Chain A
């Protein structure tokens, strides 16, 4: 019998660069030469391992993964904090990609609206990069990105460049938009739902949503009022995927493994799952 190999061993990867995007939010780029992550699709995640510290599931935020991949990491926990202490050249472990990401095949030929809240913009960046790379396969593209304070904007330069492109419409909002960002970037005062109200939303449009749990219910209600069909709304959920492939039990949600069946689910699936506080089938 052929010896089975452990599924928990990461591939060795090297930290190439880290760039500050906002306070406590850095974009890290890694190189992994065996190409094990190259099948990564938008919305999937990897397990990032810092030897001696631990692993954390992080959504991939580059639309095309070859031997390099980017992760946008906020300093919130033990692993992410330790990552901020690493210098380029240090090695880390990466394994994956895991889960089901955004349904880029279902999106084909359709208008796609991406709705990001806060750090939720990171997985959606992989999606807009992918959609722009395959631009002819998709209809109108819209990015709506909301944040609490305007200085928390992530991917400032990239979004600024997107605003110049005819290929995608970009709308930004911050609850506190009083600070002048340089270079200037046009931004509304308010939330993503305020932006949605000003846009011409077609019920047949496809949606990709990623943000903090509290945002989802407001977005889902808003889209329901615009007669968007539930099956056109895809949401990415955050749970603690410790193993990444349905063994450790940490990311169970309403009887489903977020790591295997998600993290991106369509709204009809979420509505039948208990414990999904994001759309109100669980309590919080």
Chain B
């Protein structure tokens, strides 16, 4: 087990100053009555420690909604290299850490996506514990405890934080803040353990995460899908907010001079009408039912790929952002499970 340390909350301001001494720090900031966003912060007062889910997950730092990957002129094309600034991403909760772990696996698989990996390598991730609200169901998805994807993790234990390093970069940061922290005592460890137990009992949302693949296969023709499809607006809101939705389009942006331009990668969504269309306008997933079911399959049991993991981390963003209230993963799964038991 890694050595844990205790950081008194009244020294957090100094901790923050060290974090930002040679890097831009990004953390959840309150941007409206009910919403939070990861933004650059220059003072610890700007950090919304109470934030649960930000509008967009931290994937946006490594995989931006739009990025130039290639530029060209009349003679040829070259890779577009932008200067990557080292960043600290503070306040990432366990569900989002699990999401980053999934994104890392996808983009690192050969041929590796250099654009994502270079940004990912130039950051320090500081995780932060949280208490679930009515939309959180990370416990069901098994992503409620941070196991990887972070360099440092802070567990809120009343007047202190319990601080743990996971990586060499996290360890190096601990050495920089050594004057602010002390080795965690048994009592600190007990407080942290009590916190996680209390948190485990605080979940009000969730389902029994068993046999989701066979459930989805057996209930593939369930009337629930038609009901959801009839209400789906195909707006695609559920995918940019998802910590693990990584589908993209590659598009050319030509300059007006007709000779130069750039090739961009832009986030795409499997929920948009034309996502699975091929030349000649043949659409392999023409209805909202086809598209929704596809998304649910990917989230609940993953694909038949070598990774074999579920790609839902239970953050609840899709539920909160769906204008039709149909990306309610918990209630959809529960509904299918009830039907299964009844049959």
Residues of B within 8 A of A91 (CB): 76
A68 → chain B closest CB, angstroms = 19
Judged by a CB distance under 8 angstroms, whether B107 is at the interface is yes
Do the beta carbons of A249 and B246 come within 8 Å of each other? yes
Query: Which of the candidate stretches A4-12, A135-143, A202-210 sits at the interface with the other chain?
Result: A4-12
Known interface pairs A6-B70, A8-B70, A9-B70. Does A248 touch B305 (Cβ–Cβ under 8 Å)?
no
Bound-state CA distance A238–B281 (Å) is: 12
Q: Does B147 contact A (CB under 8 A)?
A: no
Q: Which of B72, B217, B268, B298 contacts A248 (CB 8 A)?
A: B268
Whether, in the assembled complex, A245 has its beta carbon less than 8 Å from a beta carbon of chain B, the answer is yes
Most buried by B among A4, A239, A245: A4
B250 with A53: CB separation less than 8 A = no
B117 CB within 8 Å of chain A: yes
Point out which of B77, B121, B279 has the most chain A C-beta atoms below 10 A from its C-beta.
B279
Count of chain B residues near A, Cβ 8 A: 53
* B117 nearest CB across to chain A (Å): 6
Residue B56, interface by CB 8 Å: no
Q: B residues within 8 Å of A by Cβ?
A: 69-70, 72, 76-79, 106-107, 109-115, 117-118, 121, 217, 220, 246-252, 254, 258, 261, 263, 265, 268, 270, 275-280, 282, 284-286, 290, 294, 297-298, 302-305
The yes or no answer to A149 lying at the interface (CB within 8 A) is no
A256 CB contact (under 8 Å) in B265, B280, B303: B303
* Majority SS at the chain A contact face: loop
Q: What are 10 A-B pairs with beta-carbon distances under 8 A?
A: A5-B79, A7-B112, A52-B252, A74-B279, A238-B278, A239-B284, A248-B250, A249-B248, A257-B303, A274-B220
Of B263, B290, B302, B304, the contact of A8 (CB 8 Å cutoff): B263
Contact among B250, B251, B282, B284 for A253, CB-based, below 8 A: B284
In the docked arrangement, what's the CA distance between A254 and B276, Å?
Answer: 12
* Cβ 8 A contact of B249, one of A239, A242, A245: A242
